[in-house]
Structures are given as structure tokens and as C-alpha cells.
Amino acid sequence: MTKIAMVIVNYNDAKTTKKLLENIKDYSRLSLIIIVDNHSTDDSLKQLKQYENKKIKIVESKENKGYAAGLNIGAKYALEKLKECHIIFSNSDIIIHDEKDLEKLGKDLDTKEIAVVGPTIVENKSLNRGWKMPSITNEILQNLPWYGKHAKKKNLYQESHYQKELSFVDVVSGCIFAVDGKVLEEIGYFDENTFLYYEEQILSQKLKKQNQKVAVDNEVIVIHNHSVTINQNMNQIKKYKQLKESQRYFVKNYLQASRFQVFLLDMTKYGFLILLYIKNFLKGGR
């Protein structure tokens, strides 16, 4: 079986990262666990260094260039050390019940039929199992207050799509997924032009150009304590701005939106942003 490495990016949240480490550090199926400290401004690096051994490596980024850049640091380290491997990328706010789940994801990739596989994710009392690649129009509609959630739902597959062991999808959630290391290297790793958000959509578009398949394993279930780390390090307005910057980059560079479509995207984002400012003001925030 192909070796499996796991990459986790930490930024100012050693507490949550250590919980995941305690969860997975004794999993024999993991050949290497890489924690990329993305230039934390607290004592995260010092805390995480205490876990370092032959299997667990703490890699320090000299600057925070964003989440995708942190993932690339971990992926390149894994491939340098293991040469050939599957890589599981995971947020730190993930709970894994059994190492057999990670082994199953590795076996899915061993079939060579798929390049990326994600588990079924329990998130906010609902299931996250991937989605269809959104159109430019759908991305624009997602920015509209009160209609955005409805637009997002249109990208979801029907429940009947998930009746088999594996279901092919356009995109899997970026909170935890496995990728064949060789394929990741061939497509040039993650695009580092986004600081946060849209990594999974961009990855899927890059894979599509290479005729590579993406799937969800319906038999593997993990829990995602959604946005714990992001919420600790970023207020709601800053999160929204980061999200929309990434959305703009994705639509312009990967969906090949026209100038007029990019203009519409820019215009539609301001309504929700104004609502956030008002909400934040009423709460006494900044």
C-alpha cells in the first residue's frame, strides 16, 4: 500500500491543533504527520514543537502567505521525505474516530481511478459531501442578501447521488480530503494567489484540465467543528472580505468570467458587506 502523510496548517491555534494531534499521533497507517505553523504570532510554534519526533514534524513558515501556501509547504515536505505518497490535508478542527477511515481514503486513491477523495463530513448537524462546480451566474447570485443560501443549494447533488460506496463529484470540502501526491505535483500544487477560501474549487478546476476524477467516500465519516480556527483569528467582516477576494480571483481566472461579469460580482458583494457593518456596529464591534 502507498504511504500516507497528513498535513495540518496551524495559525495561532495550537490548542485545537494539539487536540487533533492527540487524536491521530498513534495511527500506524500514517507514515508522517506534518504540522505547518503558518508564521503564528503567539506561542503556537513553541507548544507544537513539544510533539516533534520521527513521525511528527513541525515545519515553520517564515511568513504567512495564506492557507494554500501553507498546504504547499506541507505537501512538498511530505513528497521530499516519502517520495511517493498519498497526502491527507486537514483543518485542525476535525475529529477522526478511527484510523481505518484514513486508511480507507488511501485505498480509494490506490485504485488509480480517482486523484482526490473526501469523506462524508458531519458539519453543523448536516452532511457535507461535496458539490457541483458553480457557474459564474451562481457565484454572482451567492452574493445577494437573503438569496445567497438558495443559490448555494442549487450546487448540491441530490441524496440519491450518494447511495454507492463512492460518488463522483466536482468539488469536495477543503476541511479534510486526500490527494495522490504525484498528481498534486503534476498540476503544480495549490494556487497560492488566494489567501483563504476557494482552494478546493481551484484545485478541482486544475484537476479537471488533466481529466482527473474527484470523489466522496460515503462510508468514511468525520466530524468538522466548522470554522473554529478562522473564527478565533478573524472577525466576520474580515472573513467576508477574504472570501470575496478569493471568489473574484476564482471567477476571473478559473471560470474565465468576462469584465462585465466580474463587475457584476463586485457590485453584488457590497449589499451583504453593508449589512455586516451595520450588524457589527450594533454589537459595538469594530
Q: What does the pLDDT read at residue 93? A: 95
Fold of 3-282: Spore Coat Polysaccharide Biosynthesis Protein SpsA; Chain A (3.90.550)
Q: What does the pLDDT read at residue 278? A: 60
The span from the CA of 108 to the CA of 104, in Å, is: 6
Question: pTM surpassing 0.75?
Answer: yes
The span from the CA of 286 to the CA of 283, in Å, is: 9
pLDDT tens track for 131-190: 999 999 999 999 887 788 899 999 999 999 999 999 999 999 999 999 999 999 999 999
Q: What does the pLDDT read at residue 267? A: 84
Single-letter residue type at 59: V
Give, as one character, the DSSP assignment of residue 279.
H
Q: What does the pLDDT read at residue 224? A: 95
The span from the CA of 251 to the CA of 205, in Å, is: 11
Q: What does the pLDDT read at residue 229? A: 55
| Segments making up each domain of the chain, as ranges | 3-282
The span from the CA of 116 to the CA of 155, in Å, is: 19
Q: What does the pLDDT read at residue 100? A: 96
Sign for the pseudo-dihedral over CA of 253, 191, 144, 235: negative
Q: What does the pLDDT read at residue 252? A: 97
Q: What does the pLDDT read at residue 57? A: 98
Q: What does the pLDDT read at residue 239? A: 85
Q: What does the pLDDT read at residue 277? A: 58
Q: What does the pLDDT read at residue 272? A: 61
Kindly give the parts of the chain with pLDDT less than 50. 285-286
Q: What does the pLDDT read at residue 70? A: 98
